[in-house]
Amino acid sequence: MTAATADPPSRPNRRARGAAGARRPVYDARSLLAVAVQEFNARGYDATSMEDLSRAAGITKSSFYHHVSGKEELLRAALQRALDGLFGILDEPASQRGPALRRLQHIIGRQVEVLTTELPYVTLLLRVRGNTEIERWALARRRAFDATLASLVAEAVEDGEVAAGVEPWLAARLLSGTVNSIIEWYRPGRPGSEGLPAQVVQMVSTGIIPPA
């Protein structure tokens, strides 16, 4: 992991005076990562240049390169942060012990929490298309996460906790798709957002539209 992922992003940690006495921001690798993720999400990774990043940060390109080797390093750092959050869920005791359905529900709820906490980073993860080696690595990790969900669905079906005949892979994709769609409308501070994880778990567990 690069220095850019060692700690959560921060705002510029101090400000320095330019030649004309104007105050300009001074960044470190952590805060530049936050700037880069914002630009990648707004412009698309491929369309974002180092010139775009340095302009957004308000520093010269050479100053930007002083902290990172290039935008590839920033992309990997951002994707690693999102993936660490998701895979960290699988290591939690509630994800490893107990009935399969209960573990699955815990993972779904925690997915929502990670998404809303790490919104810019997870948004970037969900928008990669496999155009670079780093993006293909991230997509492979996403597939591995979905495979874990599919395995839990299969266990729940076998235990009689989920309706017989449910296709585990399809169910896993639908569950992840439901959670991932939150990036399209969720905004921090939205009223009622503190109860969102529990609401999503309830809806995917019991359904929204009752059977006819």
Question: Does residue 208 have a pLDDT over 90?
Answer: no
Handedness of CA 147, 150, 152, 158 (dihedral sign): negative
Q: What is the pLDDT of residue 207?
A: 79
Structural domain of residue 22, as residue ranges? 3-69
Residue 50 falls inside a structural domain? yes
CATH of the domain at 9: 1.10.10.60
Same domain, 34 and 80: no
pLDDT band at 16, cuts 50/70/90?
Answer: very low
Same domain, 29 and 116: no
Phi, psi of 15 (to 5 degrees): -130, 145
Residue 211 falls inside a structural domain? no
Range from 16-25, 149-158, 177-186 carrying the lowest mean pLDDT: 16-25
Residue 106 falls inside a structural domain? yes
pLDDT band at 200, cuts 50/70/90?
Answer: very high
Same domain, 48 and 140: no
Bin 55: left if φ > 0, else alpha if -120 < ψ < 50, else beta: alpha
pLDDT band at 24, cuts 50/70/90?
Answer: low
d(CA 56, CA 66) in angstroms, rounded, equals 16
Total tally of structural domains belonging to the chain: 2
Output the average pLDDT for the chain: 86
Q: What is the pLDDT of residue 10?
A: 44
3-state DSSP assignment of residue 209: coil
Residue ending a domain, among 69, 88, 113, is 69
pLDDT digits (tens, 9 = 90+) for 38-56: 999 999 999 999 999 999 9
Q: What is the pLDDT of residue 154?
A: 93
Q: Which residues have C-beta within 8 Å of that of residue 106, sequence separation ≥ 6? A: 92, 94, 95
**Structure tokens belonging to residue 141:** 């990790």
Question: Does residue 65 have a pLDDT over 80?
Answer: yes
Same domain, 159 and 176: yes
Q: What is the pLDDT of residue 25?
A: 58
Residue 14 falls inside a structural domain? yes
- Residue 102: exposure state from Cβ atoms within 10 A (0-12, 13-18, ≥19): middle
Question: Does residue 68 have a pLDDT over 70?
Answer: yes
Cβ contact 34:120 at 8 Å: yes
CA dist 71 → 14, 37, 135 (Å): 23, 10, 13
User: What's the angle, vertex CA 195, arms to CA 190 and CA 199, rounded to 5?
Assistant: 115
d(CA 183, CA 128) in angstroms, rounded, equals 14
CATH of the domain at 156: 1.10.357.10
Same domain, 99 and 58: no
Q: Which of 116, 93, 136 is nearest to 194 (CA)?
A: 116
pLDDT digits (tens, 9 = 90+) for 78-135: 999 999 999 999 999 999 999 999 999 999 999 999 999 999 999 999 999 999 999 9
DSSP-derived letter for residue 97 is: S
